[in-house]
Structure 1
Amino acid sequence: VGSGSSKLVYKARWRQPHASTADVAILRIRGSGATVRRQALEQEVKTWHQLGRHRSLLGLLAVTVEPSSGDYCLVTDYACQGSLERTLRSFAEEEETMGELVQLEVARQICDGMEQLSLHEVVHRELAARSVLVWSLQGQDHLGVRVKVADYGRWIMGSRGDGVSRVGSESSAGSRAGRARWMAPESLLRHRYSEKSDVWAFGVTLWEVWTYGKVPYWAITDDELVGPKVVDGERLAAPAACPPAVYAIMRECWREKIKERPSFSELRKKL
């Protein structure tokens, strides 16, 4: 049902002894049989296990190994509606609208999952609508909303006691360029990641929710030009029909000074 440079994703049926079957997703991590890759993945799985089951985080159900290649396969919950990005854009394409309570509930559940990560000193680094999965999202039913934060397979534990990770050789400029639209200035300039850089990305994700999946800074077509604009102080404009109080929260997430941005615990209370 999906593929990327580092993984293949399958939909499967999981049969458990003395239990009903359930739809699951199997993430086959390409090249994970190699020693270095295996050690890194084992650490990620350990972190996933430490997080435990949480209502707003994608759950890890099992780990297995593909016999012929030695690739690790992660068995996770299956999201029947796919990514939040795709769901939002389908609303736009069909000219459907979401009620304000629905949008707020989506935001609250994402914040709930991110708060859980932050409490365990786990930094996501790639939060966006594309990294949130949807189980249930109807335009006017806020009580039926069910989304979960996913794609935190590149977790960085805050190993210096300050909850901050510094990754000097994390990736090339080319692979970073598209993600610059969600990145905080300190991440763009110094490869510095923390809960507060995740908070910045959360603000951009809120903007995606209220624009029905628009590309952030969509008027800037060259990804390479986005980072310098953000560093120079350019911020996303308020989406149409976005309540002023919600846009005020976005702006708090995009404060230049790291210490002035709210924590996820504070954001949850505001939402």
Structure 2
Amino acid sequence: MINMEIDELEKELNKTCFHGLLPRADIEPLLRENGSFVVRKTQRNGEIILALSVKWDRRIKHFVFNQDESGMYYFESHKDKTIHGLIDWHMKNGEPVSTLSGVKLIKGIGRQPWLLNHDEIVLQKKLGEGAFGEVHLALYITPSGKRNVAVKTMREEATRHARLQFMKEARIMRKFAHPNVIRILGVAVYENPLMIVMELCPGGSVLAYVRKMAPVPNETKLRFCCEAAAGLAYLEAKNCIHRDIAARNCLLSAKYDVKISDFGMSDERRFIHDDKLRKVPMKWLAPETMQQRVFSSKSDVWAYGVMVYEIYADGGEPYPGLSNLQARAKIVVQNYRMEMPKITPQDVDKLVHKCWETDPNARPSFSEIYEILCKLQKQ
């Protein structure tokens, strides 16, 4: 373990191409050219160590910074008082990091604009709590001013797998730019707790809104459904399967625009097979997911239909009066479908039941759903 004083070490690392606790999956896309490199923290045997990641011969290679009893840093033979000095020596002299690998350091990759410092984030009020951390209202301090944001934190004691999942969520979110999808501002990875910094949605969740404001006008309900479909059509085009579409995961901006949020279970694949179905809300699952553990954009469409039910039921729970197991049995064995609330417009009712077709291929796409709802809004 590096035995330098923490403050001194952080100052030293800021002179290098330091990327904190950013995992390999985030580092590798940054290293495009031969000899490009970054310095990062990683966990090994429960201990935080410093590592060098370098692109060489079309592969990413990783080296640990060694430290002797006197505090000198080294890879093989040459030693230096500082990490910055060690890197600088290898670059200036063209000496490989190790004789066996032949890897040389040519170009350090600077800090990415989406990597934020912890001192730029001031946590204020706790908004919620999850399995691995909390969500806070926070103040994001930038040279141009201050703004209110939402910050998702990862508990320090979380497992390595949980940390990787947390960073995967941020990595997926960074690729999105749509008015109906929550926007990520950056991640703070230089120390614990890890943080995902997002735009704040002061309107709360759609679920909380329709419950609190009931009865909500049908015009507003249709708008919520349409805006959610717009965001989901965008995700569909990006090959992102959300896997947790529900009214609780649709947030409202200050102007009450819908924003798709919570990408903790999302993935960028056309199909996902998940044997365990952990933390998956049963009443939002499509029949093929219940039976074969398969997720796709079409299982998201099914869940969207359940969300539309929630909205028109003023936040009522799906399959009222039925337990998860009872709902599953009725859907799979009896081919049961819920009745939509009586106030639901006929065309919306018809669309929802298309979303609940047993055959995934018979369900509409989100772009088709969005198109249908846009036409209904104009009527």
TM-score by length of 2: 0.62
Query: Pick from 55, 80, 89: which aligns with 2:211?
Result: 89
SS of the aligned residue for 1:152 comes to coil
Q: Deviations over 1:128-182 (max 9, x none)?
A: 001111125xxxxxxx541101012211221xxxx111111342xxx44xx1111
Question: What is aligned with 1:111?
Answer: 229
Distance (whole Å) between structure 2 residues aligned to residue 204 and residue 181 of structure 1: 8
Q: Identify the structure with bigger relative contact order (alpha carbons < 8 Å, sequence gap 6+).
A: 1
Structure with greater Cα Rg = 2
Amino acid at match of 2:229: C
Q: 1:219 to 1:37 in 2, by over 3 A?
A: closer
Question: What is aligned with 1:140?
Answer: none
Cα drift, residue 34 of structure 1: 4.5
1:131 paired to 2:249? yes
Note the 1:64-83 alignment, pairs <5 A: 64-65=188-189, 67=191, 70-83=192-205
1:247 paired to 2:349? yes
Distance (whole Å) between structure 1 residues aligned to residue 331 and residue 252 of structure 2: 29
Distance (whole Å) between structure 2 residues aligned to residue 23 and residue 65 of structure 1: 20
Distance (whole Å) between structure 2 residues aligned to residue 50 and residue 135 of structure 1: 20
Query: Pick from 239, 245, 269: which aligns with 1:121?
Result: 239
Q: Deviations over 1:57-114 (max 9, x none)?
A: 11111101373xx33111111111211111111123xxxx332221111111100111
Asked whether the equivalents of residues 32 and 72 of structure 1 are also in contact (C-alpha less than 8 Å), the reply is no
Query: Pick from 193, 197, 200: which aligns with 2:295?
Result: 193
The structure with the largest helix share of the pair is 1
Amino acid at match of 2:328: G
Q: Deviations over 1:213-247 (max 9, x none)?
A: 00000121x22222111113111102121110000
Question: What is aligned with 2:324?
Answer: 223
Note the 1:148-187 alignment, pairs <5 A: 148-158=259-269, 163-171=270-278, 175-176=279-280, 179-187=281-289
Structure 1: runs of 5+ lacking an equivalent: 137-143
Cα drift, residue 2 of structure 1: 1.1
Structure 2: runs of 5+ lacking an equivalent: 1-126, 374-379
Question: What is aligned with 2:377?
Answer: none
Question: What is aligned with 1:141?
Answer: none
Question: What is aligned with 1:61?
Answer: 185
The structure with the largest strand share of the pair is 2
Q: Hey, which bits of structure 1, 4+ residues long, moved more than 6 A? A: none
SS of the aligned residue for 1:157 comes to coil
Distance (whole Å) between structure 1 residues aligned to residue 228 and residue 372 of structure 2: 13
Q: Deviations over 1:22-47 (max 9, x none)?
A: 21111002258644333333333222
Q: Percent identity?
A: 26
1:12 paired to 2:144? no
Asked whether the equivalents of residues 33 and 72 of structure 1 are also in contact (C-alpha less than 8 Å), the reply is no
Distance (whole Å) between structure 2 residues aligned to residue 168 and residue 26 of structure 1: 31
Q: 1:71 to 1:32 in 2, by over 3 A?
A: farther
Give the superposed CA RMSD. Answer: 1.8
